[in-house]
Structure 1
Amino acid sequence: MGATKRQGKAGQGKGSEAAAEPRSVRVVLLALMIAMLLAILDNMIIGTAMPTIVGELGGLAHLSWVVTAYTLATAASTPIWGKLGDLYGRKGIFLTAIVVFLLGSVLSGMAQDMGQLIGFRAVQGLGAGGLMVGVMAIIGDLIPPRERGKYQGMMAGVMALAMIGGPLVGGTITDHLGWRWSFYINLPLGAVALAMVTAVLHLPKKERSTARVDYLGAALLTVGITAIVLVTTWGGTEYAWSSAIIMELVALGVAALVGFLFVEARAAEPIMPLHIFRNRNFTLMSVIGFLTGFVMFGAVLFLPLFQQSVQGASATNSGLLLLPMLLSMMVVSLISGRMTTNTGKYKIFPIVGGGLMVAGLLLLAQMDTGTSRLTSGLYMAVLGAGMGFLMQITMLVAQNSVEMKDMGVASSSTTLFRTLGSSFGVSIMGALFTSRARDAMAERGGSAATSQSAQLDAASLAKLPEHVREAYQFAVASGTQAAFLLGGIIAVIGFVAAFFVKEVPLRGAGPQPDPEGEPGAGADGAASARSRVKEIA
């Protein structure tokens, strides 16, 4: 009798859940997309405003630190935000991250010199680390993995939109309102996100953890990440790779990370529990995420340079230069997310994505001074499709590979590996590009030409003599070929790794046997996932 009554209630609730869930989830999703847009759009907007900022504040020698401070703070804080969400509740930590980001935005807009701007950008970066991991972890809390693909595909669309529209918005704001509004524009968006998250997001109550925060592990991880990012940022640019400061940073980073592993193995509540890496799928997704970041941000750096310098494209609408790649990435991500939801299958996507990414990079490595914009656009579309298959599936599989109590750590770790991959990609591909371009410049233009264009500054291309300009274009094409060839070789690792992914049934896909050694799957996982969706109604 009691069982019949419970079934009747369940059946009755099913209809109301079907009606309430789409509306509630969409409202929450909109707030999360705004929050993610804040973190991604900010860097894209600032890039176009930097010449104006330097003109007013000075400090050209420290220009790179405006970006580096933000990147460092974001990377170092990401795993800490994830763990705090696991310990003390996702909603409060996420709202705190939004407030920190908005505070950094206000202070950056009020900066009176370059030193203040760099410091306030670090505050912004601290908040951004919490925004990125918070969005992914909240989606992981609310949406069963079977349904999660389509929503994470939308997040990939937001990322593509920010990369396309960021430079356009930044240029418009700087020209008409002034560079300070490049930061102030975050305030209305952030206020909307704060209000919506506060009013609509209702996660299950979480008892305050009595576990002591792993401060030593957090400090060691922060030092290690900081050293890695500085090595990849400074190596080959600010300092020679063999210089004393780079070697010292390498030693510091290695020592800090070794110490971190030692501490985490013994901590009661580690910042990054090492046991999650025993899961094969989680480890493979971390590797694939790292390689995707490596390739993506390298492409974002070198493709506009090639199109402006070799193909004569305008720098004004630099975001539009990447349109074929970003649109392809967005469309494929949405389609693959929908297919994952409909079928519950996902292993094929990292395999196909890895293959397309390798193919796209090797095609881009064939570009030369005679390559048309249409041809390069088609090559970019192939690369974008590969990344579209990989961008969100890495997060989905990683989250499905851990228990719910480690959702924040899984989200932050995956985000961190992608961030570190981007840092390595820009550095290593950049070093190879510069080396090959200088050699090619010397081959074609001689020592005089090399000295005239040693900076490889695309803005001054029109001022160069014709023979130097042709040598410069050849040099840029040669450097681009070398960078993408390296990217293609590196991407092969991800393609091979995808074949070893084990297709574990996604939670929320209905009653499933619990696979041995793979936490979080099965009927109980499905039921708990469905109940979490109802919590927001």
Structure 2
Amino acid sequence: MSHREVLQALSGLLTGMFVSILAGTVVSSSLPVIIADLGGTQASFTWVVTATLLATTVSTPIWGKLADILNRKLLIQISLVIFVSASAAAGFSQDPSMLITCRVFQGLGAGGLTSLSQIIMADILSPRERGKYMGLFGAVMGVGTVGGPLIGGFLTDAIDWRWNFFVGIPFAVVAIILLQKTLHLPKRPQTRVTIDYLGTVLLAAGVSLLLIWVSLAGSEFDWWSTETVLMVGGSLVTIALFMIVEFKASNPIIPLKLFKNRTFTLAVIGSISVGVAMFGTSVFLSQYMQLARGATATESGLMTIPMIGGMLVSSTVVGMIITRTGKWKRYMVAGSILLTVGMFLMSTIRYDTNFALVSLFMVLLGAGVGMIMQNMVLVVQNAVDPSELGVASSGVAFFRSLGGTVGISALGAVLGSQATSLLADRKDDLMAAIMALGEKGASVADQLSGGQLPAMKSLPESVRVIIESVYGHAVADIFLVAAPLAFVTIITVALLPNLSLSDKTNHERLGETTVDGAGEEIAQLAEATVAAEPRTGQLDIVNPEDGDRKDHR
């Protein structure tokens, strides 16, 4: 395909990806208003976020397996329809339960868009060419991540929060039309379709139970409690049953033999830590901007642009270099080092740290994520059998989402614990500041003692400085806890086999495999024939020069 044909084919994928990111981020700045308007609690707020992540994580490997046995173009269109339909339905929510249900279906569609976009790229582009086009996906992610909260804040203030869920519909319609008109995938060989239903149910149940435990432990019940034993134990038993089923299934949802592939296994380990860095830090950076620096939700989106910019530039530039040179490992090792250094530097920030310095730290962190995230999938796609590309690609995305989901919940618990501990250490200073306010001090004390996140703009200066100091320190501790995971990424990337990138698309590789397989069958048949002939009679051999036939007993 020419460069123009590739861009035309990718236009629908990029638009669909933009819809997914926009619909996911547009509500981030207005979610407190939405929950309050629907009469929800803090638990409702948590579940609105967790429900989408959980459904995305669980459904990603299922979409990947379907991509190996069904029409990929149709699948991505179906996932897009599910996603945007659920988004539109969420706009008509009358209570938190309906909103949470719609967000689950949003996550199911998002899982398809996440895995299928990478799989379809492998059908269109060879691993060697894919790097320079990864920058386009990085650009779309950057625009959606930054633009979503800004658009959401504007719609909420100017019109109504329900329009946050409707804004993606026109883009989705355009994406479906573009996919139909421009995406022409090569015809794949017919395969017998068998779906591992039992494995699917066990995987969904085991992972969901684990993620629900992580999201509720520490708030609804203690980390060490009967509920923890039952939920974690049930999750481990279910996952063990899933592994047994996968060993015996004729067409498993996640072929366990993939873990015999060293590249896949190391990429899975590395993706977990990258997921924590990508999802966890974006959530807690927003809280740092709002609670430690007094920014509004819209302002916090603008203040995280340095991280998005670092991710965008690094993914684009490194992708082009990989395409031109064919060398990838040195850049991924450099990216993992940048990620780790960025994490450790972010652990030093406080509420009054010069923002130029904070921006530099965010650029380093974003650059590290950009150099690793997409290329991790690229390396796996290059190393696995082409017939298992779908399930392998979605497997990496699955563990990345799993790491992000667990990371957000676990690091959130650490943040709450650290904030409580630091507030206790500053109790005397805080009480003195409140007492100095006179009659106004009573209302401030009620606000701080209710267990809710404080409205920083409404706090008096003397109290706000103490709260900002506490949350600035607590968020920094989050990065310190996550930094060792980033160090694990350095080790896993360094151990990845330095395989050369193929210059053939997945379809071409699959064709070669089919031809090689046919050749082997013919050779085996010939050997069997030669071995059998002496026992059954004679073998006729014709001299190619004189045509004489000679009989050999």
- The correspondence for 2:497, drawn from 480, 502, 509, is 502
**5+ residue gaps, structure 2:** 435-444, 517-553
Q: Which amino acid aligns with 1:469?
A: R
1:23 matches 2:11: no
Q: Which amino acid aligns with 1:157?
A: A
Q: Specify the code of the residue in structure 2 equivalent to 1:53.
A: I
1:121 and 2:85 aligned: no
| 8 Å contact from structure 1 (residues 156, 391) kept in 2 | no
Q: Which amino acid aligns with 1:461?
A: M
Corresponding letter in the other structure for 1:435: S
1:102 aligns with 2:97: no
1:435 alignment partner in structure 2: 417
Matched, 1:228 2:210: yes
Which AA in structure 2 matches 1:470?
V
Q: Deviations over 1:89-119 (max 9, x none)?
A: 2112111111211221222222232222221
For 1:392, what is the secondary structure of its paired residue? Answer: helix
Asked if 1:51 is matched to 2:32, the reply is: yes
Instruction: State whether residues 86 and 407 of structure 1, in contact with CA within 8 Å, keep that contact through their aligned partners in structure 2.
Output: yes
2:61 is the alignment partner of 1:79: yes
Structure 2 matches for 1:505-520, cutoff 5 A? 505-508=500-503
Contact kept? 1:148, 1:341, Cα under 8 Å: yes
2:466 equivalent in structure 1:
471
CA distance in 2: counterparts of 1:291 and 1:274, whole angstroms: 21
Q: What CA distance in whole angstroms lies between the structure 2 residues aligned with 1:479 and 1:507?
A: 46
Deviation for aligned residue 1:233: 1.5
What amino acid is aligned across from residue 385 of structure 1 in structure 2?
A: A
Q: Which of 486, 489, 492 pairs up with 1:491?
A: 486
When Rg is computed on C-alpha atoms for both structures, the one with the higher figure is 2
- In structure 2, what is the equivalent of residue 249 of structure 1? 231
Equivalent AA in structure 2 for residue 260 of structure 1: F
Q: Distance in 2 between matches of 1:466 and 1:305?
A: 19
Contact 1:310 1:473 in 2 (8 A): yes
Query: Does 2:475 align with 1:480?
Result: yes
Supply the AA of the counterpart residue of 1:294.
Answer: V
Partner SS state of residue 398, structure 1: helix
Moved more, 171-180 or 337-346: 171-180
Would the aligned equivalents of 1:86 and 1:405 in 2 still touch at CA under 8 Å?
yes
CA pair 289-84 structure 1, distance change in 2 beyond 3 A: same
Picking from 18, 23, 36, the partner of 2:17 is 36
* Mapped partners of 2:502, 2:390: distance in 1: 17
Q: Name the CA shift for 1:456/1:353 in 2 (closer, same or farther; >3 Å).
A: farther
Tell me by how many angstroms 1:270 deviates: 0.5
Determine which of 461, 465, 472 is the counterpart of 2:456.
461
- Inter-partner Cα distance in structure 2 for 1:199 and 1:326: 31
Q: In the TM superposition, what is the alpha-carbon distance from 1:431 to its structure 2 partner? A: 1.9
Q: CA RMSD in A?
A: 2.4
After superposition, the C-alpha distances for 1:464-485 in whole angstroms (9 at most, x for unaligned) are 4555433322221221221111
Q: Deviations over 1:313-334 (max 9, x none)?
A: 3333221121111101110000
1:200 aligned residue: 182
Bigger mean CA deviation after superposition, 334-343 or 33-42: 33-42
1:181-232 deviation line (CA, Å, top 9, x unaligned):
2122222111111111112212122355324210011111101111122122
Residue 304 of structure 1 aligns with which residue? 286
Query: Counterparts of 2:299 and 2:450 in 1: how far apart (Å)?
Result: 22
The change in CA–CA distance for 1:184 and 1:307 in structure 2 (over 3 A counts) is closer
Alignment of 1:194-343 (within 5 A): 194-343=176-325
Deviates more, 1:64-73 or 1:128-137: 64-73
Question: Unpaired runs of 5+ in structure 1?
Answer: 1-16, 511-519, 529-537
Q: In the alignment, residue 491 of structure 1 is paired with which amino acid?
A: A
Name the structure 1 match of 2:343.
361
Distance 1:33 1:140 in 2: 14
CA contact (8 A) 2:447 2:454 kept: no
Amino acid at match of 2:212: L
| 8 Å CA contact retained: 2:275, 2:400 | yes
Aligned residue for 2:527? none
Instruction: Report how far residue 277 of structure 1 moved.
Output: 1.5
Q: Does the C-alpha gap of structure 1 residues 153 and 232 become closer, same or farther in structure 2, counting only changes over 3 Å? A: farther
CA distance, structure 1, for counterparts of residue 295 and residue 458 of structure 2: 16
**Partner of residue 168 from structure 1, selected from 134, 145, 150:** 150
After superposition, the Cα gap between the structure-2 partners of 1:317 and 1:189, relative to the gap in structure 1 and judged at 3 Å, is same
In 1, Cα distance between equivalents of 2:10 and 2:126: 14
Q: What is the CA–CA distance in structure 1 between the aligned matches of 2:235 and 2:415, rounded to whole Å?
A: 25
Q: Give the conservation status (yes or no) of the 8 Å contact 1:400–1:521.
A: no
Distance of 1:96 and 1:124 partners within structure 2: 12
Instruction: Give the Cα–Cα distance (whole angstroms) in 2 for the partners of residues 322 and 411 of structure 1.
Output: 29
Of all paired residues, the percent bearing the same amino acid is 36
Match of 2:374 in 1: 392
Per-residue Cα deviation, 1:241-268 (whole angstroms, up to 9, x for no partner): 1233333221121111111111111110
Secondary structure at the counterpart of residue 248 of structure 2? coil
CA distance in 1, matches of 2:173, 2:22: 16
Equivalents in 2 of 1:456, 1:481: separation in Å? 21
Matched-pair contact (CA < 8 Å) for 1:344–1:509: no
Residues 32 and 45 of structure 2 are in contact (CA less than 8 Å); yes or no, is this contact kept in structure 1? no
SS in 2 for 1:212: coil
Q: Which moved more, 1:219-228 or 1:451-460?
A: 451-460
Cα 1:280/1:456, change in 2 over 3 Å: farther
C-alpha distance in 2, partners of 1:208/1:123? 30
8 Å contact from structure 2 (residues 246, 254) kept in 1: yes
Tell me which amino acid in the other structure corresponds to 2:122. G
| Aligned residue type for 1:460 | A
